[in-house]
């Protein structure tokens, strides 16, 4: 991948004047929307903010700082930017963002991704590394909540992306939740998206008015990335008359269905799984519920045992489930676990790696 630098808009230097800024009716409406979402977060006196320098995250920096000024002076925000080092000017860009935020009395810490960089699947791996580096900082500072600048346009793009992948109700609707739990090592973090019901265009407007500065990522115009192609498709769908209010209603209905399924999963786990001596004992009734409930229940157990955020591939899980249904005895390994079936009981335990 050829390295390219980002282009930054010119900068006008001003200090924050919250009262003056909030006189702008549009910005005030955006802020009140954010405030309502942020108020829903529990234990939010200490938060980390993931900053990229784009208009979305710059807007988030302002909104969090304004919340601290107006609502909760005890709020301790930590602003982090991950320099992935994938572009030739990434370090210069990061320092520029830090400088501009400092002028607005926002202290930014730059985290560097050191070591060998991937040649393929860069967007996905970069996202994983970004969370990893931020979670490490959160652990140091006892922070449980990370704020990201995902917005309404991201919600639609993610829906179409997962639709193309053939995702079920969980995949199609999970992004509609403002909060999501992540497991990193022995620690659990909440990743919150308080801008999820705010349009990108509104965040651009806010960033221009407050900072008159943000970075434009050239990859946002590269058709080789699926998300860029989907963004253009969505624009065309809007021109063709797609009603996004109705799409939002569909997403909410899917989310409601998904919550119902999750309740059934929790009941299946509660009724048919026993935890004993670092092992899960699964009763035969566990496999008598609908396939989707079995699949999610089994995936949940695997994640609990390995403490990984992502379970093994769906196809592998389904294969093991089918084998457990038809065979009287079975011993297999899957995603760091050992799965054994003896008569009508299935035992799932962690696979211990041999020390050399």
Count of CB atoms within 10 A of residue 107's CB? 10
Beta bridge partners of 184: 187
What ranges make up the beta strands (E) of the chain? 7-8, 46-51, 76-83, 108-112, 145-147, 179-184, 187-192, 215-216, 273-276, 279-282, 329-334, 337-342, 345-350
pLDDT at position 5: 40
* Number of C-beta neighbours around residue 197 at 10 A: 16
Give backbone dihedrals phi and psi of 334, rounded to 5 degrees, phi first: -155, 115
- Evaluate whether 173 touches 295 at the Cβ level (below 8 Å): no
Domains of the chain: 7-242 (3.40.50.620), 247-350 (3.30.465.60)
Phi-psi region of 121 (alpha: psi -120 to 50; beta: other; left: phi over 0): left
Residue 162 confidence (pLDDT) = 85
End-to-end, the C-alpha distance of the chain in Å comes to: 38
Q: Which residues does the chain have with pLDDT short of 70?
A: 1-16, 217-224, 309, 353-356
Average pLDDT in the chain:
86
321 vs 116: CA distance, rounded Å: 38
* Contact criterion met (CB below 8 Å) for 57 and 194: no
Check residue 276 and give its pLDDT: 87
Question: Which phi and psi (to 5°) does residue 286 adopt?
Answer: -55, -35
Which tokens in the block code for residue 331?
């011993």
Q: Specify the pTM.
A: 0.78
The CA-based dihedral angle spanning residues 299, 305, 309, 312, taken in that order and rounded to the nearest 10 degrees: -50
Query: How confident is the model at residue 136, as a pLDDT?
Result: 95
What pLDDT sits at residue 12? 36
- What does the DSSP assignment read for 239-272? HTT--HHHHHHHHHHHHHHHHHHHHHHHHHHHHH
pLDDT of residue 332: 93
- Helix, strand or coil, per DSSP, at residue 120: coil
Residue 60: which residues within 8 A CB-CB, separation 6 or more?
49, 51, 147, 148, 149, 194, 195
- Written as six digits, the tokens of 54 are 């784009």
Please choose, from the candidates 309, 312, 263, the residue with its C-alpha nearest in 3D space to the C-alpha of residue 289: 263
| Residues contacting 188, CB < 8 A, separation 6+ | 144, 181, 182
What pLDDT does residue 354 have?
A: 45
Spatial distance between the Cα atoms of 305 and 350, rounded to a whole number of angstroms? 6
- Please tell me the predicted confidence (pLDDT) of residue 170: 83
- What's the pLDDT score for residue 331? 94
pLDDT score recorded for residue 220: 65
């Amino acid at each position: 991948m050829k390295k390219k630098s980002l282009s930054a808009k010119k900068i006008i230097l001003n200090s924050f004047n919250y009262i003056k800024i909030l006189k702008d009716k549009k910005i005030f409406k955006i802020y009140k929307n954010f405030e309502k979402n942020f108020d829903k977060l529990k234990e939010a006196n200490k938060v980390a903010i993931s900053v990229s320098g784009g208009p979305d995250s710059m807007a988030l920096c302002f909104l969090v700082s304004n919340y601290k000024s107006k609502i909760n002076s005890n709020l301790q925000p930590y602003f982090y930017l991950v320099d992935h080092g994938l572009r030739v000017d990434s370090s210069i860009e990061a320092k520029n963002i830090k400088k501009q935020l400092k002028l607005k009395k926002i202290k930014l810490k730059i985290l560097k991704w050191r070591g060998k960089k991937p040649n393929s699947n860069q967007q996905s791996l970069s996202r994983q590394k970004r969370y990893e580096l931020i979670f490490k900082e959160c652990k140091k500072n006892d922070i449980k909540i990370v704020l990201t600048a995902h917005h309404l346009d991201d919600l639609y793009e993610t829906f179409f992306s997962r639709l193309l992948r053939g995702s079920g109700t969980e995949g199609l609707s999970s992004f509609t939740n403002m909060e999501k739990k992540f497991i990193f090592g022995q620690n659990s973090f909440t990743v919150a998206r308080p801008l999820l019901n705010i349009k990108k265009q509104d965040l651009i407007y806010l960033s221009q008015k407050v900072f008159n500065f943000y970075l434009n990522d050239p990859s946002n115009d590269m058709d080789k990335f699926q998300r860029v192609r989907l963004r253009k498709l969505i624009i065309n769908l809007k021109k063709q008359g797609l009603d996004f209010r109705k799409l939002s209603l569909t997403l909410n209905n899917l989310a409601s269905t998904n919550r119902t399924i999750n309740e059934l999963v929790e009941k299946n786990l509660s009724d048919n799984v026993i935890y004993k001596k670092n092992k899960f004992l699964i009763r035969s009734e566990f496999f008598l519920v609908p396939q989707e409930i079995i699949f999610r229940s089994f995936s949940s157990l695997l994640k609990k045992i390995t403490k990984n955020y992502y379970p093994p591939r769906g196809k592998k899980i389904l294969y093991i489930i089918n084998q457990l249904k038809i065979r009287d005895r079975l011993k297999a390994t899957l995603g760091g676990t050992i799965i054994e079936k003896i008569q009508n009981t299935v035992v799932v335990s962690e696979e211990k790696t041999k020390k050399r």
